[in-house]
């Protein structure tokens, strides 16, 4: 390691912007806006999230040559425009899609200055687990990058790069940067913020250099990027942190060692005159429920907006799932844009309709009632449908009615199923499963109750009307597809069910481990059997926001055709 030439103070902007995949023009405009605001504040360096220019993840769009060319053109145009708008002195680290000399797609951070891309860092470690397919979509880089900015030797890494202690991190450490900046596209998972902070702190201390970690904000299909951008000093101490899920700019004055490395590119050697540092904020860690709530609201809000919808429609059964989804929708896009439809059948209780109406009254969402008996009767008079077939036709008439309203009026249909139901296949394909988006598909039933209670309590704190009717929270769950039906007729108690599901689905525990952990063996075998045989239903379920470490969807890829049945091997 070179010895440092002294202390240098850089003013750094963390730009937690919310790009849209594929919207090169719109995302460029966002970058320009943020850069202008940062320049106004006297920033020397602005750091944007991973692939902010293209949005993230672009999935197989990376494999399209036309898209790669467009991204390359857009980054060059952005560099020119930054200079033309008078921000040529500001160094901007901007993620985009580039190409290797072979033509292969690469996940790159451009270092822009003076109207040009002065340097490029190519992501080295490509995550290919969980929701990530980066080994499929990108060619890895194999070099570190250090650029000198106002005398400070700044190393650049991208997201997954800092999760491999002996990988490119170690290579960069040998070059002794005075500062490390890390653009990220790190989707929310429960408790991941704690993990991120611990990691960034540890690696900054190991590198003996401050880290600037900038994460994306916003929803993209089933992912929500929750921001949580931060700065830690060379000892790993947290200096600044952006509020959870908040878009915007945070400015930090950071003292760094100067001239510590042999940079690949020298952008500027001039030392900044020391000014009084601006005071920065460390956003407080919010409660788990509040975190999840913000993520669910963000996921739905952005799916609606980025897909050009202005409103949503959903069935309001009077039950807790649809009430929770309605409350999320009201928070996401406003009650005026939420349409609730009660779809009572002959098996619906009086309280169902009352509770649905109460939900509408509490929040001000649009509400209407359409009795489904005429349509259900038309089916049962013309097609023989008994038992489960009759139950399902009710759900499908509701689905068809909601889709009809959607086609007629242009709303996005929301599916209201929760993770417990989806796990055990307790839903009707083309019935309650219809929808363009499923906001709570990754929320277990016990958490549905917890979030509902939390949201009502928050309303009381704020002096507002609690959105969710108390009876919807307190009554026993029922699909109401036959007389006196209760969920508990066919499913274990949700408290136990959700525990087994968490272990089996989220934690990949097997039958024997679960039995060894004290769960009843027959119950475990039954639940596992239900989960495994419902894969075909989940495959056709709408997307919805991931909040757990293992959401259904691209996070968990299992065959539909499989005879593997743990605990039921004899079958």
Strands (E), 151-190: 152-156, 179-184
By CB under 8 A, residue 429 contacts a copy of itself: yes
Among residues 30, 118, 134, 159, which one is catalytic?
159
Q: Which of residues 282 and 388 has its CB atom nearest to a copy of itself in the complex?
A: 388
Q: Which of 2, 33, 136, 486 binds a copy of itself (CB under 8 A)?
A: 136
Query: How many residues form the binding site for a copy of itself (CB under 8 A)?
Result: 88
Residues 279-338 that bind a copy of itself (CB under 8 A): 302-303, 306-307
Residue 420 gets the label, from left (phi > 0), alpha (psi -120 to 50) or beta, of: alpha
**Nearest one of 292, 363, 286 to 329, comparing CA atoms:** 363
d(C-alpha 221, C-alpha 243), whole Å: 22
Residues 381-400 that bind a copy of itself (CB under 8 A): 381-386, 388-389, 392-393, 396-397, 399-400
Q: Verify whether residue 289 is a known catalytic residue.
A: no
CB of 529 to a copy of itself, least distance (A): 13
Tokens in use for 332? 């996401």
By CB under 8 A, residue 238 contacts a copy of itself: no
Bridge partner list, 507: none
**Nearest one of 455, 438, 21 to 219, comparing CA atoms:** 21
d(C-alpha 284, C-alpha 477), whole Å: 36
Q: Verify whether residue 2 is a known catalytic residue.
A: no
By CB under 8 A, residue 103 contacts a copy of itself: no
Q: Which of 14, 31, 53, 55 binds a copy of itself (CB under 8 A)?
A: 55
By CB under 8 A, residue 26 contacts a copy of itself: yes
Q: Verify whether residue 256 is a known catalytic residue.
A: no
Q: Which of residues 273 and 384 has its CB atom nearest to a copy of itself in the complex?
A: 384
By CB under 8 A, residue 166 contacts a copy of itself: no
Q: Which of residues 268 and 380 has its CB atom nearest to a copy of itself in the complex?
A: 380
Which x/- pattern, by CB under 8 A, does the window 258-277 give for a copy of itself?
Answer: --------------------
Helix (H, G, I), strand (E, B) or coil at 180: strand
Task: Name the percent of the chain in helix, strand, coil, to the closest 5.
Answer: 40, 20, 40
CB of 542 to a copy of itself, least distance (A): 7
CB of 55 to a copy of itself, least distance (A): 8
Among residues 30, 50, 291, 499, which one is catalytic?
50
Residues 199-218 that bind a copy of itself (CB under 8 A): none
Provide the b/e sequence for 342-355 (b: ≥16 CB within 10 Å). bbbbebbeeebbeb
By CB under 8 A, residue 565 contacts a copy of itself: yes
Give me the DSSP letters along 323-373. HHHHHHHHHHH-GGGEEEEE---TT--HHHHHHHHHHHHHHT-EEEE---H
Q: Which residues belong to the active site?
A: 50, 123, 159
């Amino acid at each position: 390691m070179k010895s440092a030439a002294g202390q240098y103070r850089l003013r750094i902007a963390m730009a937690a912007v919310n790009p849209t995949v594929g919207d090169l023009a719109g995302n460029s405009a966002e970058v320009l806006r943020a850069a202008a605001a940062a320049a106004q504040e006297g920033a020397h360096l602005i750091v944007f999230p991973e692939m902010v220019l293209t949005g993230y993840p672009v999935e197989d769009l990376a494999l399209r040559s036309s898209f790669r060319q467009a991204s390359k053109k857009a980054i060059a145009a952005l560099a020119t425009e930054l200079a033309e708008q008078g921000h040529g002195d500001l160094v901007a680290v901007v993620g985009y899609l580039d190409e290797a000399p072979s033509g292969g797609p690469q996940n790159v951070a451009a270092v822009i200055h003076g109207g040009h891309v002065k340097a490029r860092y190519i992501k080295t470690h490509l995550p290919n687990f969980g929701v990530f397919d980066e080994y499929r979509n990108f060619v890895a880089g194999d070099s570190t990058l250090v650029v000198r900015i106002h005398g400070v030797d700044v190393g650049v890494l991208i997201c997954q790069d800092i999760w491999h202690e002996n990988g490119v991190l170690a290579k960069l450490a040998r070059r002794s940067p005075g500062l490390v900046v890390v653009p990220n596209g790190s989707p929310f998972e429960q408790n991941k913020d704690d993990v991120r902070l611990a990691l960034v702190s540890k690696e900054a201390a190991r590198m003996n250099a401050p880290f600037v970690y900038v994460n994306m904000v916003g929803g993209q299909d089933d992912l929500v990027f929750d921001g949580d951008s931060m700065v830690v000093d060379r000892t790993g101490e947290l200096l600044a942190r952006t509020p959870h899920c908040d878009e915007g700019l945070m400015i930090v004055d950071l003292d760094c060692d100067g001239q510590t490395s042999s940079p690949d590119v020298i952008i500027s050697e001039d030392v900044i005159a020391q000014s009084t540092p601006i005071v920065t904020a460390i956003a407080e860690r919010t409660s788990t429920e509040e975190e999840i709530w913000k993520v669910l609201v963000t996921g739905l809000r952005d799916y609606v907006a980025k897909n050009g919808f202005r409103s949503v429609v959903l069935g309001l059964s009077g039950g807790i799932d649809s009430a929770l989804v309605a409350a999320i929708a009201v928070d996401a896009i406003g009650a005026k844009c939420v349409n609730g439809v009660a779809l009572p059948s002959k098996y619906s209780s009086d309280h169902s309709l009352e509770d649905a109406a109460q939900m509408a009254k509490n929040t001000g969402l649009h509400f209407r009632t359409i009795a489904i008996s005429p349509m259900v009767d038309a089916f049962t008079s013309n097609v023989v449908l008994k038992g489960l077939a009759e139950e399902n036709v009710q759900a499908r008439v509701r689905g068809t009615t909601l889709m009809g309203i959607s086609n007629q009026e242009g709303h996005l249909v929301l599916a209201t199923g929760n993770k417990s139901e989806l796990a055990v296949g307790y839903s009707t394909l083309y019935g309650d499963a219809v929808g363009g988006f499923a906001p709570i598909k990754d929320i277990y039933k016990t958490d549905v109750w917890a979030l509902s209670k939390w949201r009502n309590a928050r309303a009381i704190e704020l002096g507002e009307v609690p959105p969710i009717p108390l009876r919807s929270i307190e009554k026993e769950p029922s699909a109401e597809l036959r007389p006196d039906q209760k969920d508990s007729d066919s499913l274990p108690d949700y408290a136990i069910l959700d525990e087994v599901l968490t272990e089996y689905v989220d934690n990949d525990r097997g039958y024997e481990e679960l039995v060894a952990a004290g769960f009843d063996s027959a119950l475990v075998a039954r639940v596992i059997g239900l989960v495994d045989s419902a894969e075909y239903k989940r495959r056709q379920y709408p997307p919805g926001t991931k909040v757990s470490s293992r959401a259904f969807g691209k996070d968990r890829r299992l065959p539909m055709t499989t005879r593997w049945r743990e605990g039921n091997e004899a079958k």
